[in-house]
Amino acid sequence: MKEFQKINKETIPHRIIIARIIFLKGLSIIYLISLVSLYGQIQGLWGNEGLIPSNLFLSKLKENLKGHKYYLFYPTLAWLLNRNSSSVENLLYILCLLGIIISISIIIFSEYFLNSISYFALWYIYYNFTILGQTFMKFAWDGLLSEIGFISIFFAPFSFRYINYIYHSNNISFNVLKFILAKFMVSTGINIIGSQCPYWTSFNGLSFFFQGQPLLSSLSYFFHYHLGDTFKKILSAFGYFCILYLPLGYFLIWRRFSIYSGQITFLFNLFFILVGNYGFLNLLVIVLNVLNFDDYFFRSILPKNILQMLKIDYLSILIPLYLKEKKELNEEINKNENEIARLRKEMDTESAKKEGKDEKN
């Protein structure tokens, strides 16, 4: 085991085995939270007697879109049903229950359900809600979850068995997910600046920010009444840094910058969770932010029992790295030995030539 300590941690940074599993399970938890929340709102919002009935929405779409374009532009399963009855409302209930079952199955039985098929099913279920939900599904967290959920189909493993994908990761989808995180952070800052609100441009936005939260918490009252104006301006400046410049650190090749950026992003979104309520938006950003941390970081902070709960055998990560580094080290040693032998041969040849000249003289 002492030989494992010789592994250079800089060989681990771009391995995202643990981060990949934590992200995918965290995403399934967010799907579970959102679907459980939607289940209790179906009848009042989109049912036959709801505020905006889904069956009437589909009928208007079919009237306004000629031909079969409505299938292409709004690909929902509801087109297969009789929209004049309560079938659309029942479909929403069925989809919601199915998504809840799949989410729970991924969390508990990840060896069998943590795969691309499950995440495609979750994404398409939620996509149906974004279509049929109309105005009530146009919030920032709904769009972000749909976007992340779609890319996660390709980021999740394609095999059903855990052992088949524990050594692999899709680098393209990984970088796309990190780009989505950076895009969300930067676009938030651009929207604030683009609003040209004199309070935010003068760093006085926090003077009214805490009292304008969707659901006020005790910390909201505390920060609003007990933080001085100077400290609020400092926090505003730090907030601008977090949403405009910090995302650059997600893509730097030095692992420390990525980890530091991820830690600050985590604290930044945790702050919003504590002072207000934006649905699962900040929780979703925290889950996405997990991809800024590599396996070496998680192994350094997570105990073995947590890794076992995640069904991660840390030796299965270390042993291939150790063997790879040992192979590279042996190749380097052999290369150096061959170079030394060549130099010695040249030195012996030159020495022999000099001795021959000396004997002639």
* DSSP-based three-state secondary structure for 231: helix
Sorted by sequence, the CB contacts under 8 Å of residue 210 that are 6+ apart come out as 216, 220, 221, 223, 224, 275
Closest among 244, 260, 138 to 182, alpha carbons compared: 244
pLDDT in single tens digits along all 361 residues of the chain: 443 344 444 444 456 778 888 899 999 999 999 999 999 888 888 888 888 888 888 888 877 777 666 777 888 888 887 655 578 888 899 999 999 999 999 988 887 888 899 999 999 999 999 988 888 888 888 899 999 999 999 888 876 454 334 444 457 888 899 999 999 999 988 888 888 888 887 888 787 888 777 777 788 888 888 888 888 888 888 888 988 888 988 887 777 888 899 999 999 999 888 888 777 888 999 999 999 888 778 878 877 777 777 655 454 455 555 555 566 667 777 777 778 888 888 887 777 777 766 666 5
Would residue 277 be called left, alpha or beta, if left means φ above 0 and alpha means ψ between -120 and 50 degrees? beta
Buried b or exposed e, range 325-337, using 16+ CB within 10 angstroms: eeeeeeeeeeeee
pTM of the predicted protein model: 0.78
> Letter for the amino acid at 296?
Y
Rounded (to 5) percent helix, strand, coil in the chain: 80, 0, 20
Angle between helices 255-275 and 218-226 (to 10 degrees): 100
Residue 31 buriedness (CB in 10 A; 0-12 / 13-18 / 19+): buried
The tokens describing 255, both together, are 């692992």
Q: What is the DSSP letter of 79?
A: G
| Domain boundary assignment for the chain | 15-169, 179-312, 315-350
Q: What would the DSSP string read from start to end of 158-225?
A: SSSSGGGTTT---HHHHHHHHHHHHHHHHHHHHHHHHTT-HHHHTT-THHHHGGG-SS--HHHHHHHH
Residue 61 buriedness (CB in 10 A; 0-12 / 13-18 / 19+): middle
The tokens describing 253, both together, are 């090749």
Q: How far apart are CA 193 and CA 236, in angstroms?
A: 12
